[in-house]
Amino acid sequence: MHKPFRQRAGPDRQAALAQYRRRASVYDLELALFEPVRRSAVSWLGLAAGDSVLDVGCGTGLSFELLRAAVGPRGRIVGIEQSPEMIERARRRVRQQGWRNVSLLNAPVEDARIKDKADAALFHFTHDILQRDDALRHVLQHLRPGASVVASGLKWAPLWAAPLNLLVLPAALRSVSSLAGLDQPWHRLDRLIGPLQTRSLLAGTVYMVHGRRPAQP
């Protein structure tokens, strides 16, 4: 068994808001190690010029540059983030870059007022969101049939690499409000749109999955 501690039953919104209030000023530095994962996740979306994409749990907007390079100035990026401190930094990034095709929604994902249907959705290091069926269903309702969906993030290491959980644990405690589901963080998404393609990175401590929105999720 490679879940070395007791875990909460599910995501805790207030805990998450407090967590990211504390992390906002150092978030970009903390995520620098995982930038290759971000690049791979965005690439796996298979975006084309003119596409629209939902950046779910967009944080400070670190994925925007990569997404915009893929969809071009005629494409559309919608960032969704519940933390006021994080999305303020995303707004600052958008203003500084002069990106006119990036819009931001400061709301829990399941309550976000998303306009129109998107061609793709990215869930990058958004464990709490992936553990909420209502959030996932809300996103899927705003995707076109066949839309590309990619999720990536931390997971418990496999049994053969169990000692690496000593590294996963502190990283997880800083980035999630619930450790439930960390053995297979994509299991709810798989149930809604499966089957998913999966990739394992960094000795199994990081995952990426890809799927497509069915006609009736």
For the chain, give the number of residues. 217
* 22 within a domain of the structure (yes/no): yes
The number of domains in the chain is 1
* 3 within a domain of the structure (yes/no): no
Of 216, 20, 11, the residue nearest 134 (C-alpha): 11
Tokens of 73: 């100035």
| CATH code, domain with 189 | 3.40.50.150
pLDDT at 196 > cutoff 80:
yes
Contact 74, 100 (CB under 8 A): no
List alpha helices for the chain, DSSP H.
13-23, 27-30, 35-44, 64-71, 84-97, 127-130, 133-141, 165-175, 187-193
* 1 within a domain of the structure (yes/no): no
Residue 147 phi/psi, 5-degree rounding, is -60, 145
pLDDT (tens digit, 9 = 90+) per residue, 77-129?
999 999 999 999 999 999 999 999 999 999 999 999 999 999 999 999 999 99
* 115 within a domain of the structure (yes/no): yes
Confidence of residue 217 (pLDDT cuts 50, 70, 90): low
Counting Cβ atoms within 10 Å, is residue 88 exposed (0-12), middle (13-18) or buried (19+)?
middle
DSSP string, 94-152: HHHHT-SSEEEEES-GGG----S-EEEEEEES-HHHHT-HHHHHHHHHTEEEEEEEEEE
* 28 within a domain of the structure (yes/no): yes
If one counts every other C-beta atom within 10 angstroms of the C-beta of residue 216, the result is 6
* 114 within a domain of the structure (yes/no): yes
* 174 within a domain of the structure (yes/no): yes
Range of the domain at 46: 13-209
pLDDT (tens digit, 9 = 90+) per residue, 21-54?
999 999 999 999 999 999 999 999 999 999 999 9
* 7 within a domain of the structure (yes/no): no
Separation between Cα atoms, residue 97 and residue 90, nearest integer Å: 11
> Could you tell me the pTM of the whole model?
0.94
